[in-house]
Amino acid sequence: MTRWLPRAYLVLVYLLLYIPIGVLVVFSFNDSRSGYTWGGLSLRWYQSLFNNNAMVEAMWNSLWLALSAATVSTVIGALTALALHRYRFRGKKVLNGMLFVVMMSPEIVLAISLLALFLLVGIQLGYVSLLLAHVTFCLPFVVITVMARLSGFDESLPEAARDLGASDFTMTRTVLIPVIMPALLAGWLLGFTLSLDDVVVSTFVSGPSYEILPLRIYSMVRVGLKPEVNALGTLLLVFSLVMLMLSQWILTRSKR
Amino acid sequence: MKKTLLSLSNLTKQFDGKTVLDSLSLDIYDGEFITLLGPSGCGKTTLLRLMAGFEHPDAGTITLSGEDLTGTPPEHRPLNTVFQHYALFPHMSVFDNVAYGLKMEKRPKEEIRERVEEALAMVQLQDYMRRKPHQLSGGQQQRVAIARAVVKRPRLLLLDEPLSALDYKLRRTMQVELKRLQRELGITFVFVTHDQEEALSMSDRVVVLKDGLVQQLGTPREVYERPANLFTARFVGETNFFPGEVESIHDGTITVDVFGLKRTLRRPDFPVREGQSLHVLLRPEDIRVLDPADEQGVAGKIVERNYKGSTLDSVIHLEYGTEVLASEFFDEDDPAFDYRLGEPVKVSWVDGWEWLLPEEADESVNEDALTDA
Amino acid sequence: MPSITRQPFRTAVLVLVWGWLLFLVLAPNLLVVGASVMTRDPGTFISLPLNLDAYRQLFDPLYLEVFLHSLYMAAMTTLVCLLIGYPFAWALSKLGKQRQLLLIFLLIVPFWTNSLVRTYALKMLLATNGLINSSLMGLGWIDEPLQMLYTEGAVIIGLVYLLLPFMILPLYSVFDDLRQELLLASHDLGAGRFATFIHVIVPLTLPGVLAGVMLVLLPAMGLFFVPDILGGSRNLLVGNVIKNQFLDARNWPFGAAASIVLTITMAILMLAHRLSKQRIGEEGA
């Protein structure tokens, strides 16, 4: 059987996936404003990025939002996973179903439903509304990550702890949490990245008081070409790459 | 005179430089039940896959009734396979699974229906036609796999450890059923297993394989009672090995010293000379456990007893350091039969029940091959 | 089962989780359903009386055309993703395990990178004075720049670029689960490569195809920023319509009705996926 044809095909698809990103990175170091001619190596776009106060503020805002959204969703998501895994309760299927629907439904549907809620209940559009929204769409991913870890571990461990005299709470603290720790870290990183990259939901639930990075980028790329975006994109790419490798490393290490 | 159906000659197959089959030749007769027996990694599954056409030999030929099959793809070979894990198509009903091969032959609808129903009746699954594979038990899935393979009326049926996923009782039932099917259909069965008991009870002939080489080819009785070498002796059933030394050679007999006993034994087929060391092989059921006062026999004491229902198995530690396994049929009337642990006894056998093998150069390797099985 | 008072921890967890989901998932969705049957109101966004005007408005020729065009672009995106992704996942599943993991990693790296930035990268390539046009003109293959940006094609390329991993991952998962023995069995029973593909491979990978379609088709109707950046004003998605109605036109009932259409599409796709899995004896997700 010919073996090179499928391989050549794989290589081609990867090239198509990576060429735009490669061009973006290369041209972020271009001294010229042009998107097609090379004007020499330069860091001027990185400079202008950091000289832009509004941009730097949006970066910090985004970072803070992502940190808090990832943390809150990890806590709630882990508790939800534990509840789904360990307790029998009425409406368990409904709970599962709701999480699944959140994960599968188009972002824009989630976005408008949250906007409607915030406006009608009277929650100011800003940090709080963004946090609530981001935690909500990160939640199912954390739950799934933790559930996967829980389903792979020995059912008799919690029973052994209870048998040896630990209360439900103590057992959770001393046995379950250590076991699911890698999943918690991976879930946290996933939530962090999802929050940092979100455009659709944020467009709806953010207000003028709290500008975040994706929206700032959005307003920049709608018209024309802005070399600062290349620089920013390169930074975000490196950042995501580090986060992704970190989470992979945590997951593989925990599998031993 | 038996007619050769499938002839394998000088088949060689390597994977990543490792030789799996080494110039192997084998003739399979029309209508026989032949078993490929060996530990894992012995090449038995590769041999079966070469016959089915899933792999191609690096060298050698496969002919079916004189017709060269070596380069023929599996879909054009008039033989079918029953897979180890059944390989039933999960998206098709039992009926569609069995009908698949006939549909590929573009048979008329009516004929397909009749033949599928017939095949399913043969494995007693005619009431399960509309079920999906996942709605069946393991044994039922096994039957569907067999029906699916035989409905095409192949010249030869290849079975790759088809019973290994079933529990003990179901295995026994399916063994009997497979034998019955083979008799009724008159199809040649090539059966692969690592279970020597299964091989002995089902086959007309057994091929013992190791490291891609045929160790022995013969009837189950030949393989069990007259093993060709130490590997076969160890792999097929339990065996006690006593070291012997040839003292003198006569017409048809030789005198051998075994643990100080001088025994006159049948002269073996291989050449012997005086002073030569050889192995005296005795199956546990051939061992006699005697009273310590008895003159004939080697002294030892009982170190383990296992009640096996119809037999009593004892392990006897000989004064010479060797351990012997003895398996005796129950005799409730014999008060001396039930030994106590630590009780001194003597061990012997009836002349002529032993089997002699020469020493082999590389005897240590065999043990490793066995632990794989 | 122990009573509630004896497990305060359990009670606290369940209250928190249920509270969150009821307030931020169930309530908002009910709100949208409610909004879709109410009347537009400039002050309070929505008001009584109840009516189906919003749904009627969906069939207004003007919007119907936008929806059908969006559906067409989403369908094309899905088709292109499937055509690229199916052989891709197949080829991927044939490689060694270690290499598969590495390639999967490489596949999700872009997915973890900001999607706006990636869309912008495409814009750089496709622009009138972008890299593709200048390269082609430099090579002398074309005399004047091709109009690639602000076309239907650009939107589809952008959507494919963003959504391809979502098609490949479920497909890879079904190909990875596809037991080699089944293909051998099919050949053994007399089927050639083509017959095996049609009768065995396609039905067994169908759940993956449907999962991929589900993960691509819906976002391909909702990712409003792609046409904003690449498509100009003529190539709008349902997402753009919903966004405009909610944020600019302040017509909540109409925006809500449009989003319910999306949700219903999702429900239908999920049902199809579930059925296809049950067919091969796997429990529906």
Encode pLDDT of B63-106 as tens digits. 999 899 998 999 999 999 999 888 999 889 999 999 999 999 99
B295 and B342 assigned to the same domain: yes
Q: In this complex, is the C-beta atom of B164 within 8 Å of any C-beta atom belonging to chain C?
A: no
Alpha-carbon distance C254 to C238, whole Å?
A: 12
What average pLDDT does chain C have?
85
Contact A240 C117 (CB under 8 A): no
* Span B159-174, average pLDDT: 87
Q: What is the ipTM score, two decimals?
A: 0.84
pLDDT of residue B341: 83
Alpha-carbon distance B225 to B239, whole Å?
A: 10
How do B33-37 and B344-349 pair as beta strands? unpaired
B228 and B309 assigned to the same domain: no
- Of B284, B239, B275, nearest to B257 by C-alpha is B275
Lowest mean pLDDT among A19-28, A77-86, B358-367, C155-164: B358-367
- Of A172, A216, A195, nearest to A56 by C-alpha is A216
Place of tokens 């009593």: B312
Contacts of C60 (CB under 8 A, 6+ apart): none
Q: What is the CA radius of gyration of chain B?
A: 25
pLDDT of residue B368: 46
Query: Which chain B residue has its CA at the smallest distance from C203's CA?
Result: B91
Question: Which of C177, C189, C197 is best to mutate for the B interface (most B CBs within 10 A)?
Answer: C189
* Span B333-340, average pLDDT: 65
Alpha-carbon distance B160 to B191, whole Å?
A: 6
Question: What is the domain-level CATH number for residue B84?
Answer: 3.40.50.300
pLDDT of residue B369: 45
Alpha-carbon distance B30 to B295, whole Å?
A: 53
Angle between helix A92-104 and helix A53-86 axes, rounded to 10 deg: 150
Contact C134 A168 (CB under 8 A): no
Indicate whether B350 pLDDT > 90. Answer: no
B100: nearest CB among C179, C189, C280: C189
- Of C86, C90, C110, nearest to C213 by C-alpha is C86
pLDDT of residue C14: 86
Q: Which two tokens stand for residue A96?
A: 């599962």
* Span C216-240, average pLDDT: 88
pTM of the complete model:
0.82
A108: nearest CB among C16, C120, C222: C222
User: Which of residues B145 and B262 earns the better pLDDT score?
Assistant: B145
3-state SS, one letter per residue, for B234-278: HHCCCCEEEEEEEEEECCCEEEEEECCEEEEEECCCCCCCCCCEE
- Of A146, A225, A226, A239, nearest to A196 by C-alpha is A239
- Of A120, A136, A125, nearest to A212 by C-alpha is A125
Asked whether residue B369 is assigned to any structural domain, the reply reads no
Place of tokens 């990694």: B41
How many structural domains does chain B have? 2
If contacts are CB pairs under 8 Å, which of residues 124-163 in chain B contact chain C?
Answer: 132-135, 148-149, 152
Alpha-carbon distance B228 to C100, whole Å?
A: 47
Task: Name the domain boundary from B212, B233, B254.
Answer: B233
Q: In this complex, is the C-beta atom of C28 within 8 Å of any C-beta atom belonging to chain B?
A: no
Task: Name the domain boundary from B193, B211, B233.
Answer: B233
Alpha-carbon distance C52 to A19, whole Å?
A: 48
pLDDT of residue B118: 93
CA B285 to chain centre: 19
Q: How close B234 comes to chain C (CA, Å)?
A: 33
pLDDT of residue B88: 92
Asked whether residue B316 is assigned to any structural domain, the reply reads yes
Q: Which domain holds residue B222?
A: 4-233
Contact A9 C91 (CB under 8 A): yes
Binning pLDDT at 50, 70 and 90, where does residue C2 land? Answer: very low
Asked whether residue B367 is assigned to any structural domain, the reply reads no
Q: How close C263 comes to chain A (CA, Å)?
A: 7
If contacts are CB pairs under 8 Å, which of residues 270-309 in chain B contact chain C?
Answer: none
Q: In this complex, is the C-beta atom of B53 within 8 Å of any C-beta atom belonging to chain C?
A: yes
What average pLDDT does chain B have?
87
Question: Which of B100, B130, B137, B140 is best to mutate for the C interface (most C CBs within 10 A)?
Answer: B100
Asked whether residue B261 is assigned to any structural domain, the reply reads yes
Contacts of B134 (CB under 8 A, 6+ apart): B90, C281
DSSP characters for C5-47? Answer: GG-HHHHHHHHHHHHHHIIIIIHHHHHHHHHHTSEEETTTEEE
Task: Name chain A contacts of C113, Cβ cutoff 8 Å.
Answer: 21, 197, 233, 236-237, 240
Indicate whether A74 pLDDT > 60. Answer: yes
B60 and B200 assigned to the same domain: yes
State yes or no: chains C and B have 3 or more CB pairs below 8 A.
Answer: yes
How do B156-160 and B79-82 pair as beta strands? parallel
- Max distance between CA atoms of chain A, in angstroms, equals 72
Q: In this complex, is the C-beta atom of B83 within 8 Å of any C-beta atom belonging to chain C?
A: yes
B229 and B264 assigned to the same domain: no
Alpha-carbon distance C221 to A105, whole Å?
A: 12
C192: nearest CB among B75, B89, B148: B75
Binning pLDDT at 50, 70 and 90, where does residue C282 land? Answer: low
Alpha-carbon distance B207 to B235, whole Å?
A: 12
B179 and B314 assigned to the same domain: no
Task: Name chain A contacts of C36, Cβ cutoff 8 Å.
Answer: none
| % of chain B residues with pLDDT over 90 | 38
pLDDT of residue B295: 78
Asked whether residue B213 is assigned to any structural domain, the reply reads yes
Contact A14 C106 (CB under 8 A): yes
Place of tokens 């009347």: C39
Query: Could you tell me how many residues make up chain A?
Result: 256
Cis bond before residue A208 (omega within 30° of 0): no
How do B240-249 and B277-282 pair as beta strands? antiparallel
Indicate whether C48 pLDDT > 50. Answer: yes
- Of B171, B156, B205, B183, nearest to B53 by C-alpha is B156
CA distances from A9 to A3, A5, C54, C281 (A): 11, 6, 47, 32
Query: Which chain B residue has its CA at the smallest distance from C281's CA?
Result: B134
CB B280 within 8 A of CB B241: yes
What average pLDDT does chain A have?
84
B71 and B185 assigned to the same domain: yes
Contact C184 B81 (CB under 8 A): yes
B182 and B322 assigned to the same domain: no
CB C122 within 8 A of CB C148: no
How do B298-307 and B344-349 pair as beta strands? antiparallel
DSSP characters for C173-229? Answer: HHHHHS-HHHHHHHHHTT--HHHHIIIIIHHHHHHHHHHHHHHHHHHHHH-THHIII
State yes or no: chains A and B have 3 or more CB pairs below 8 A.
Answer: no
- Of A139, A154, A130, A76, nearest to A103 by C-alpha is A139
B74: nearest CB among C179, C187, C199: C187
- Residues in a beta bridge with B355: B281
Angle between helix A53-86 and helix C8-21 axes, rounded to 10 deg: 130
- Of B263, B248, B239, nearest to B348 by C-alpha is B263
Task: Name chain B contacts of C187, Cβ cutoff 8 Å.
Answer: 53-54, 73-75
Lowest mean pLDDT among A106-120, A154-168, B266-280: A154-168
pLDDT of residue C143: 80
Task: Name chain A contacts of C18, Cβ cutoff 8 Å.
Answer: 91, 95
CB C117 within 8 A of CB A232: yes
* Span B115-134, average pLDDT: 91
C200: nearest CB among B54, B89, B135: B89
Indicate whether C283 pLDDT > 50. Answer: no
Alpha-carbon distance B347 to B299, whole Å?
A: 6
Q: Domain boundaries in chain C?
A: 55-279
3-state SS, one letter per residue, for chain A: CCCHHHHHHHHHHHHHHHHHHHHHHHHHCECCCCCCCCCCECCHHHHHHHHCHHHHHHHHHHHHHHHHHHHHHHHHHHHHHHHHHHCCCCCHHHHHHHHHHHHHCCHHHHHHHHHHHHHHHCCCCCHHHHHHHHHHHHHHHHHHHHHHHHHCCCCHHHHHHHHCCCCHHHHHHHHHHHHHHHHHHHHHHHHHHHHHHCCHHHHHHCCCCCCCHHHHHHHHHCCCCCHHHHHHHHHHHHHHHHHHHHHHHHHHHHCC
Q: Which two tokens stand for residue C121?
A: 């990268």
B73: nearest CB among C187, C279, C280: C187
Residue B352: what residue type?
Answer: G
CA distances from C62 to A76, A175, B18, C58, C243 (A): 44, 61, 70, 9, 17
Per-residue pLDDT of A14-40, as tens digits, reads 998 898 888 888 888 888 777 667 777
Contact C185 B87 (CB under 8 A): yes
Other beta carbons within 10 angstroms of residue B107's beta carbon come to 16
Query: Which chain C residue has its CA at the smallest distance from B80's CA?
Result: C188
Query: Which chain C residue has its CA at the smallest distance from B148's CA?
Result: C189
B174 and B269 assigned to the same domain: no
What residue ranges define each of the domains in chain A, with the CATH number in brackets? 52-254 (1.10.3720.10)
Contact B100 C203 (CB under 8 A): no
CB A215 within 8 A of CB A203: yes
CATH class of C55-279: mainly alpha
pLDDT of residue C123: 87
Task: Name the domain boundary from B233, B254, B284.
Answer: B233
How do B311-318 and B298-307 pair as beta strands? antiparallel
Per-residue pLDDT of B237-262, as tens digits, reads 888 888 888 988 888 888 998 888 88
B156 and B274 assigned to the same domain: no
Contacts of B110 (CB under 8 A, 6+ apart): none
pLDDT of residue A35: 64
Task: Name chain C contacts of A243, Cβ cutoff 8 Å.
Answer: 112
pLDDT of residue C168: 93
Binning pLDDT at 50, 70 and 90, where does residue B373 land? Answer: very low
Other beta carbons within 10 angstroms of residue B63's beta carbon come to 16
Neighbours of chain B (3+ CB pairs under 8 A): C
* Span A188-216, average pLDDT: 88
Per-residue pLDDT of C166-203, as tens digits, reads 999 999 999 988 888 999 999 999 999 999 999 999 99
User: Which of residues C52 and B137 earns the better pLDDT score?
Assistant: B137
Binning pLDDT at 50, 70 and 90, where does residue B331 land? Answer: low
* Span C56-73, average pLDDT: 88
Q: How close A126 comes to chain C (CA, Å)?
A: 16
Query: Which chain B residue has its CA at the smallest distance from C207's CA?
Result: B91
Interior/surface letters A19-40, b for 16+ CB within 10 angstroms, e for the rest: ebbebbbebbbbeeebbbeeee
Question: Which of A87, A96, A112 is best to mutate for the C interface (most C CBs within 10 A)?
Answer: A112
Contact B91 C192 (CB under 8 A): no
